Amino acid sequence: MSGRTARRRVLRITLADGGGPGGEAARADLLAAEEPLGIRVDGTALTMTMRTPGDDLELAAGFLVSEAVIRSPADIAEIKLCDGTTCGHAGHDGLGNIADVTLAEGVTAAPGARRNFLTTSACGVCGKASIQDICVLPHAALAGDQARFAPGMLAALPRRLRDAQRVFSRTGGLHAAGLFTAGGELIAVREDVGRHNAVDKVVGWALLSGRLPLAGCVLLVSGRASFELVQKAVLAGIPLLAAVSAPSSLAVELADEAGLTLVGFLRGPSMNVYTGPGRLSA
């Protein structure tokens, strides 16, 4: 069975005060696992992504939401994990590194959805043929979401997310995405070596649970807020995306166009609000 962590022997070197020679010792260390996951739709390979094993069906479902292929559980006729010869439906993995999705009748993946090469854990839009392929907005704008969020509540979320990161606490090597209510209650958290994978897992969980769109929710991500993370939040119907680091210029442009409230540098008592400040209230 694939695991979320891998054990490795390392040489631990400790310097003395002043940087001089100290001590060294061999010890066991835990690493965040990274393995490929192929996503196959209606018998055709759609993409291959590098991810941390676990919640693979959610990852595949969330990826299809972010590619605007599906919008509800009814769009999926069947989803299962395969190893090339054997498939199954039960939770995690041991069954292989292929997520096999059969779409419902009348639902198709547009030709532009197919990635042209391997998607790494650092890339959410690699392999797209053109800028038009990555600019996807939902049919319903976020402007109608009237939820309000207190800055004090947002400031408390990074610590809550960190406290919920079980694998990060053991490896120090994973990103996380956390979904919160407007009152700051943690609804779901997923970890992965890739930020976009962690978000796809959260969105996929919501889709398979029948909870999309995620109106009135906050999505908090570790690291920066890139274009693809904004698009994933928008397509999931999330009105506020917060990140502990900076957004990119294209992320801000898309958030503004889509009516998403985008918060960056959410650290301690301060934050930057790049778009949609009207949703923040004391």
Residue with tokens 């999330």: 238
251: three-class secondary structure by DSSP: helix
Q: Any idea what the CATH number is for the domain that residue 61 is in?
A: 3.10.20.10
Interaxial angle between packed helices 56-66 and 227-235, expressed in degrees from 0 to 180 and rounded to the nearest 10? 90
Q: What's the one-letter identity of residue 244?
A: V
pLDDT, residue 282, reads: 64
Q: Are residues 270 and 148 in the same domain?
A: yes
Report d(CA 267, CA 249) in Å as an integer: 20
Report d(CA 263, CA 84) in Å as an integer: 42
pLDDT, residue 264, reads: 97
Residue 224, in any domain of the structure: yes
- Owning domain of residue 257: 142-279
Residue with tokens 């209606």: 42
In the predicted model, what is the mean pLDDT of residues 154-158?
96
pLDDT tens by residue, 26-71: 988 778 788 999 999 999 999 999 999 999 999 999 999 998 899 9
End-to-end CA distance of the chain: 48
Which one of 123, 126, 135, 217 is the catalytic residue? Answer: 123
Q: Are residues 130 and 146 in the same domain?
A: no
Nearest to residue 212, comparing CAs of 70, 97, 101? 70
pLDDT tens by residue, 270-280: 999 999 999 99
- Please say which residue of 70, 100, 134 terminates a domain: 134
Neighbouring C-alpha atoms within 13 Å toward the C-beta of 120: 2
225: three-class secondary structure by DSSP: strand
Report d(CA 250, CA 265) in Å as an integer: 17
pLDDT, residue 112, reads: 55
pLDDT, residue 77, reads: 97
Q: What are phi and psi of 275, to 5 degrees?
A: -145, 155
DSSP annotation string for 131-150: HHHH----SS-GGG----B-
Count the domains in the chain.
2
- The dihedral over CA atoms of 152, 155, 157, 160, expressed in degrees to the nearest 10, equals -100
pTM, two decimals, is 0.85
Neighbouring C-alpha atoms within 13 Å toward the C-beta of 117: 5
Residue 247, in any domain of the structure: yes
Indicate the pLDDT class of residue 138, thresholds 50, 70 and 90: low
123 in active site: yes
72: three-class secondary structure by DSSP: coil
Q: Are residues 146 and 241 in the same domain?
A: yes
In the predicted model, what is the mean pLDDT of residues 197-214?
97
Q: Which residues, 6+ apart, have CB-to-CB distance to 134 below 8 Å?
A: 125, 128, 227, 228, 231
pLDDT, residue 92, reads: 45
Contact (CB, 8 A) for 237 and 71: no
Q: Are residues 107 and 182 in the same domain?
A: no
